[in-house]
Structure 1
Amino acid sequence: MDWLWWVGGALVLGILEMLSLDLVLIMFAGGALAGAVAAALGAPIGVQILVAALTSVVLLASLRPWLLRRLRRRVPLEETNAAALVGRGAVVVATVTPEGGRVKLNGEVWSARTTLAEAIPPGAQVRVDRIDGATAVVEPDAG
């Protein structure tokens, strides 16, 4: 029945890990589970404690650093909404000037303007430089 105490301890440590998120207590929980296995196999209490301690140290030294590296790895964010439109191509549907105009962008008609002095005629291919509110700031597409 000693193994039940070890399993109970592992459960408590697992719950406490959910509150701390340091990946330390979960390693001790793994050690407690190893102690439970030793107890279930009939090992004396001294051996159970030694197995739990050694397993915890091995988990802390090997598994925890690997898990931390995996968790802290940066995943590139995928742009969404208006930010995803920057750099995309569009077609001018109404002459675009520094004051305004219209482009068909991503299947929708957007208000647009350009930072260039000359107007961009309808049918011209443009590239979105940035989104300013609900207006696409465009430049002629060089490609």
Structure 2
Amino acid sequence: MEFITAVAQFAWIGWIVLIAVFLVIEMLTLDFTFLMLAIGSVAGLAVDLFGAPIWLQVLVAAVVAALLIFGLRPPLLRRLRRGEDPTPTNVAALIGMAGQVVSTVTALGGLAKLSNGETWTARATASASEIQVGAPVRVDRIDGAIAYVTAVPAVSAPPEVDA
């Protein structure tokens, strides 16, 4: 019983430590989740300063943090990401890119030159057994330094209409 009394008496120290830890983690992640947890901990500290029992402090902190995470965090993230460039970059930009086979591509290997000018080690996806030199391909996925490609039917010119 003495231990519980000591915990209740010094709970404010625990709340301050939690607030500090959550704020440090928030500075490292910049995702607003730990900021909301820190604000919930501030609410728990405030309730502690009014002399509430420890179970009520934890309940208030949890409710405030949950309300902030589900109510305030989504609009904050939308506002923060409003000016982002939606253009995919790096490997994500290669997915769906067109290319042409330079060296016969099989499930074990080959080479494909992508439309951005890069030549990649390529493998055929499970649906294709062998893709011949000069065939147009599309990148399905990238795994390390290997582009998994699928043959694309050549686009034929539309028939000319005589007027």
Asked if 1:26 is matched to 2:11, the reply is no
Q: CA deviation at 1:61?
A: 1.0
Q: Write out per-residue CA displacement over residues 96-129 of structure 1, whole angstroms, 9 at most, x where no aligned residue.
A: xxxxxxxxxxxxxxxxxxxxxxxxxxxxxxxxxx
Normalising by structure 1, we get a TM-score of 0.50
Shift of the alpha carbon at 1:4?
2.5
Partners of 1:10 and 1:32 within 8 A in 2: yes
Verify the 8 A CA contact 1:2 1:39 in the aligned structure 2: yes
Equivalence map 1:64-75=2 (5 Å): 64-74=73-83
Question: Is 1:39 paired with 2:48?
Answer: yes
Which position in structure 2 is the counterpart of 1:3? 12
Bigger radius of gyration among the two: 1
**TM-score of the pair, normalised by structure 2:** 0.44
Unaligned runs of 5+ in 1: 77-143
CA contact (8 A) 1:27 1:60 kept: yes
SS of equivalent to 1:51: helix
Greater than 6 Å deviation, 4+ residue runs: none
How many residue pairs get aligned? The number is 76
Matched-pair contact (CA < 8 Å) for 1:2–1:40: no
RMSD between aligned residues: 1.6
1:12 alignment partner in structure 2: 21
Query: Partners in 2 of 1:4 and 1:71 — Cα distance?
Result: 33
Alignment of 1:117-136 (within 5 A): none
| Unmatched 5+ stretches in structure 2 | 1-9, 86-163
Name which structure has the greater RCO, CA cutoff 8 Å, separation 6+: 1
